[in-house]
A and B are shown apart, each in its own frame.
Chain A
Amino acid sequence: MSLPLQALCASAGAPVYEIGSRCLPWDHQAALVLEFARSREVDVSELLADCQLQAGSLLSPQQLLALLAALQRALPSPDTPFVLGQLSLPGPTGLASQALAQAGSLYEALQTLVNYAARLSPLLTPRWFQHGDELIVLWTAACGVGAAQRSFVVDMQMSALTGVCQWLGGERLPWRYCFNRTRPRDISQQAVYLGHSLQFDCHVDAMRLPASHLHRPWRQAAAAHPGNFAALSLERGADVGARGRGLLAAIYDHLLPRYREAPGLDEVAEAFGLSSATLKRRLALHGTHYQAELDLVRTHVALYLLLLQGCSNDAVAAELGFHDRNNFRRSFKRWTGLAPSLVG
């Protein structure tokens, strides 16, 4: 019944970035948004003025979100997140993008994406693990995304991973998609850009694929790139920021191995070297609070045990440290809006 913790969490000690930290290089995601706007005939200076940004230097996740919101206002076309996503990976510059572009298999690509998510997917942190003959990519917030933009960012990142695998691997992989939202009226964009296996109301944003695809060598990998030098230099610490974790992702990393004990705010604050008041304030800045983050982790564990391990309610209740089944049922209902027996 053990969780694939090693695969799901980054090792401790990764640098933490917050929603206001100016840590994103201008020439990746932001430059792409402007390029996209320009090619769709949106006035770029208008766009920058709308979100009060100036081109150049570093920007924060918050500023990137504001830029995306401004783009959505200027160009409310339903394909925007999907097209942007497709073009965002492997990305134009930087060691992480180079390492991803030279990935020789899906396994290498996923490892690169997950390890250097601060560069490749700074708004939504990907995590992946293998369960039996299936691999599962789980997307969790890096620094928090407002409810209004959550779907946009999830669509964008799912389209990015789908697209980069198809581009590098030379074939479309049979991904299955799970969305943590109700089914929208029109899913034509998801069906064409992502795939036809779409599931809504899932309580997690995840992508699933038969694990047999993991180690298949990709077409371009063979002769062209004898060694992935970008990956090597990243491993040697050439770009420390690439290993960064968003504050919420770092808290998730910290809480997941401790899902049973469910530590309190004070303990977590101490582990992060902060006072509990400071952590509380910072979480509020990220649009959340401590209990919500803890509940999220415990929901994910419960869903993993219920759906993937096929555990009984009693077993899950015991594993999560509930004294009896009814307490667990009540908590689970509060987390997901559903009774545990109805999930699946």
Chain B
Amino acid sequence: MQEMKQVSLYVGRLRLPVLPQAPVLGLGHFGQGLAVLMVSLMCLFAWLAAPKAVEHWRWMDIAGEGGMALMAGVWLVQVRSSRPAGRVTSLLCLGLASVLLGQWVDLLDEFWVLPKAVIWDNWLESTLVPLGTLLLTWGLHHWRHEQQSLTAQMLKRERLFREHRSLDGVTQLGDARYLAAQIAIEQRLHQPAALAMLGLDGFDAVARTQGLAESDRLLQAASHLLLLNLRPDDLLCRYAADRFCVLMPGLQAGEAQARAEHLRQALSMLAHHTRAGTPLQLPARSAVAAVDAREAPDAQLLALARRLAEAP
């Protein structure tokens, strides 16, 4: 999924975020179109209908219907700003737009009384909202399929629960806190599990000699390589700097040792080429520990990181 940058609009010293909106059905100006439609509907009401006196306004209905329309609008903006363009986005947005229009007509009804002969407003009110919910449901159905294929890609990077705040920005792996939470789950399950930590010797010199962007790319390459060498049940996290940690559920220490050695060799063989074409091949080191059922997860990780640092 391509990342959309957040743009801000400055009004004096005030900073307002402007969320970039994905096109719907290929229309970049979907929102403006919708707004024009809403204004035309209002003009139509003002032209055809008689305004209600203020004392006949039913405030509860106005708040309810207006609030619903407002919320549908907010959801529409959020969906468009958080998803790439495509079928699922178009369906969700059309559904929300339809709900929004239905509620809008409902709301306009509170301010104007249309002549009895006019029936299109009833027709709009009673079709737009159900149509919108149908479109939304259909969109959500496709979203589930889309999510299944995305989850397959996230395998070995996350398990059991998702926490986007614990995601490392460089490698898109979970961080130390995410890993500690996963170890805690493993402890509650009372099953054997092992931890392997891997690191690259001389990694800190890479940023100095090749630049920070290259050292980040090296970390990304290393994380991809490790992911390719993991079992489906394993979880890879970035502990800190060049220290990667693998949680291997169901493994005894002996098997874990062999797996870690395999990963260490794979990492040592990685010859990452910088954009300038310089090959970077760093020796890797590894340390393994069985997950202790009682010790605090972050203390176990610290002890493992210490053993890795002191490893020959």
Contact = CB atoms under 8 A, between A and B. Distances in A.
Nearest to A170: B205
A contact face: mostly helix, strand, loop, or mixed: helix
Contact of A43 (B5, B298, B306): B5
A327 interface: no
Given A49-B10, A191-B306, A185 B298 contact: yes
A167 B208 contact: yes
A189 B241 CA distance: 7
A50 B298 CA distance: 35
A292 interface: no
Contacts of A93: none
B contact face: mostly helix, strand, loop, or mixed: helix
13 contacts: A43-B5, A49-B8, A77-B170, A79-B241, A185-B298, A186-B176, A188-B239, A188-B302, A191-B305, A191-B306, A192-B309, A193-B240, A196-B309
Looking at B168, B177, B204, B309, the one whose CB has the most chain A CB atoms below 10 A away is B204
B211 A39 contact: yes
A83 interface: yes
A87 B208 contact: yes
Contacts of A77: 168-170
B50 interface: no
Contact of A35 (B176, B212, B240): B212
Nearest to B240: A192
B302 A167 contact: no
Contacts of A81: none
B302 A196 contact: yes
A75 interface: yes
B109 interface: no
Interface of A: 35-36, 39-40, 43, 46, 49-50, 75, 77-79, 82-83, 86-87, 163, 166-167, 185-189, 191-193, 195-196
Interface of B: 5, 8, 10, 15, 168-170, 175-177, 180, 204-205, 207-208, 211-213, 216, 239-241, 243, 298, 301-302, 305-306, 309
Given A35-B212, A46-B8, A188 B301 contact: yes
Contact of B169 (A40, A46, A166): A40
Nearest to B298: A186
Contacts of B216: 39-40
Given A82-B241, A189-B240, 19 more contacts: A35-B212, A39-B212, A39-B216, A49-B8, A49-B10, A50-B15, A77-B169, A79-B241, A86-B207, A167-B204, A188-B175, A188-B176, A188-B298, A191-B240, A191-B306, A192-B239, A195-B309, A196-B306, A196-B309
A83 B207 contact: yes
Contacts of B180: 186
A193 B199 CA distance: 12
A95 B10 CA distance: 40
B307 to A, nearest CB: 10
Contacts of A82: 241
The 9 A-B residue pairs whose C-beta atoms are closest, nearest first, are A188-B176, A192-B240, A39-B213, A39-B212, A188-B240, A196-B306, A192-B241, A189-B240, A77-B169
Contacts of B208: 86-87, 167
A186 B177 contact: yes
Contacts, number: 72
B204 A163 contact: yes
Contacts of B239: 188, 192
Nearest to B309: A196
A40 B15 CA distance: 22
Contacts of A35: 212
Nearest to A188: B176
Nearest to A164: B208
Contact of B302 (A39, A43, A50, A187): A187
Nearest to B310: A196
B168 A36 contact: no
B241 A193 contact: yes
Contacts of A185: 177, 298
Contacts of B305: 188, 191-192, 196
A82 B15 CA distance: 29
Contacts of A163: 204
Nearest to A75: B169
A77 to B, nearest CB: 5
Looking at A40, A186, A193, the one whose CB has the most chain B CB atoms below 10 A away is A186
A256 to B, nearest CB: 35
A308 B273 CA distance: 50
Nearest to B199: A192
A187 B301 CA distance: 10
A24 B239 CA distance: 35
B207 A87 contact: yes
Nearest to B245: A188
Nearest to B3: A41
B240 A79 contact: yes
A16 to B, nearest CB: 32
Given A75-B169, A191-B306, A86 B211 contact: no
A184 B130 CA distance: 52
B77 to A, nearest CB: 21
A191 B197 CA distance: 14
Contacts of B207: 83, 86-87
